[in-house]
Amino acid sequence: MFLWIRKKRMASSVGFQIKQEIFKVFGHEVPVIVINKQDLENCFTNNSFLQEKDCDTKKLYVAFISKELSSGVMNDLKMSQVKPDECEIDGNRIYIKYAVGAGKTKFDQKYIEKKLNVTATIRNWNTVTKLLEMYT
C-alpha cells in the first residue's frame, strides 16, 4: 500500500494503524509505507541523477524505504552484482537509475528488501511527479 500524509512525525503511527486495520478487516498483513510532501520534494532536490546531461527520466525510479538508511548500507546493496544500474541513498529513499529499464534488472524491490532487511516500494519518476502534484 502507498499512502502520503502531511506531517512526518505521524507517519509511523499512521502506517501502523492502517496496517492493523487492514489485518482486522481483511485478515491480511500488508506492508505500509507512509510518505509526506517533503519526501517527494526531496526526490527533486536531492537526486543527482537529475543533474546529468541528457537525463532520461524514463529510467529514473525512487524506492521509498520503511526506515532511514545510513550511507553505510551502500555496501549491503552489493551494487557490483547489479551493474550497470546505479543508485544513491538519501534518508528513507533510494534514487535508482536503470541502465536498460526496470523490467530487465535484478535491482528490484525484492532485491532491496532482502539486502537491507526493510520494506520498500519503488515508483517510476512519472508517478513521483504526479504524487507531488497532488499535494498542490
**pLDDT exceeds 80 at position 7:** no
Residue 112 near residue 64, CB atoms below 8 Å: no
Specify the pairing of strand 120-124 against strand 33-36.
Answer: unpaired
Cα–Cα distance between 96 and 40 in angstroms, integer? 15
**pLDDT exceeds 90 at position 16:** no
Share of the chain above pLDDT 90, in %: 63
Cα–Cα distance between 104 and 7 in angstroms, integer? 36
Regarding pTM above 0.85, the answer is yes
Name residue 70's amino acid: S
Q: What value does the mean pLDDT take over residues 67-73?
A: 87
Specify the pairing of strand 2-5 against strand 33-36.
Answer: parallel
Residue 88, beta-bridge partner list = 95
Counts for the chain of helices (H) and strands (E), in that order: 5, 6
